[in-house]
Every structure is written in structure tokens, then in C-alpha cells.
Structure 1
Amino acid sequence: MQDCSDNVETPDWLDAVRWTPEGLVPAIAQDAETGDILMMAWMNRQSLRLTAEEGHAVYWSRSRGKLWRKGETSGHEQVVREIRLDCDEDVILLKVEQKGGIACHTGRRSCFYRALKDGQWVRVDPVIKDPDAIYGSN
């Protein structure tokens, strides 16, 4: 697997994070007002540094092998209010203001829209906006 860390001089606080061997750390986006968990994505050193510097969520796309700024396509960006590191130093929590109310590429508020009920995953949260209207049809 490729090393996703950047080679740019980085602030010391990034050294406190326990990165995976691939140079990544999971990041959870949480609504700063409601406490709702919106999504989980991956960050590398560069994306975490840029998130802190710019005040907007920047993630590392494993599938595309590049940085992605949340909302760059959809317009549903995440304004970062606070960045936290968990007790094991291996998970980042972003407390965010979710612009447009949609965090998930499925057009829902949260990526966690399925609940386990009677041994099956059931969709419990509605689509707010058709993904084709957000991203265009393929």
C-alpha cells in the first residue's frame, strides 16, 4: 500500500498522532451543535495540517489516492469548529458545522443511516437530496 504522508515540513503536534503504517488516521466528523455523527473518513498528515490551517475539512481519498476537500463537488463543506485526538492518539474527531445539511454522498445527513433491526440493516434516515442532483448522473 502506498505511503499517504506528505514530505512537507509539518508542525510538531502532528507527531502526537499514531498513524497507520500507510500514514493514515481515521477521522470522525461530528455535528458541533447536535453531536450527531456525520461520517468517517481518512486523513494523512497533509490533510490534517490543511484542515487545521484552513478551518475546513480536508480528507485523504484512498480510492482516488489524493486529497479531497469536503464539499468541493457537492458544495456541502464542513467548517471545522474543533479538532480533538482520542486517548489512544489514533482517531481524530472533527466537530464541524455541516453546510447544506448533507454529509453523505447518498444525499443523507449522515453516512450512518442504517440500523440493525431483527438481524437486518434497515435504512432509518431519509434521502434529503437526490445524489444525481448533487453530483450529476453518470
Structure 2
Amino acid sequence: MSTDENSLPEPVPAVWPSIGFTDVDAGVRFLTEVLGFVVTVLHRDDDGTVAHAEARWPDGGGVMFGSRGKPGEWGALGPQGVYVVAAEAATVDAVWERAQAADDVEITLPLENTDYGSHTVGLRDRDGNLWSIGTYRGA
């Protein structure tokens, strides 16, 4: 632990946002082919729905996801917003390039450098989930 009272130790990723997809296969393609996540778990029920799946971000952490379900159930989550920290600006640039080439991705924030020091891009997937990928690691 740091002796500087204004700094915190480097966190171990422990927060996993949960995303619901109406078409999980399209969601997997977005996560892997556009963003660069790696799917590590995918449990598909007999009817084809995905009750639980996980995708790891190469720089640490990940998201849990599954098929959107009935109202009142965990899988009924509507559109979410997720910020993903990239260790290098080159990772953000690669996401930007892949997003421009993808048919079902809306770019909500073009590639930019913010006044608070982040190299970032904003996207919306086909289910309306908002994704921001940037180099800002938080205060």
C-alpha cells in the first residue's frame, strides 16, 4: 500500500458489468470482433438462450452477459453503459478502426483526446448498449 494518503493501491478488477443481448451471437461478435474481448464462458440452455456468459478484457476485468429475459428477471436488463479502460492508446485506435468497418455499430463519440487525459471512443451496439473505450484509469 502506498504511503501517499491521496493515492490508492492498484485495484484488482472486481466489478463485472452485466449486459443483456437480444441476439447473443451478435453480441459475442461485437464483444470479440469489434471491442477485442475474449469469451471465456458461455452456457447455452436447451432452448438456445444464454443464461450466463463471461468475456474477459485483455487489460483486466470483464463483462458478464446473456440473453435478455422477461421483465423482472436479471436477464431483462435493458441497454447499459460500460466504460472499458485500455492500457494503451493503440488499443483504442484498433477498436476505432474495427468499429468503422462494422455494419451494426453506431459511433457515438469519434476518436478523441479529452481534456482530462483520455484517448477515447464511444460506441453503441445493436441492442443499444453504450460502450466507451479509453485510456483514462480513474482518479
> What's the TM-score, normalizing by structure 1?
0.28
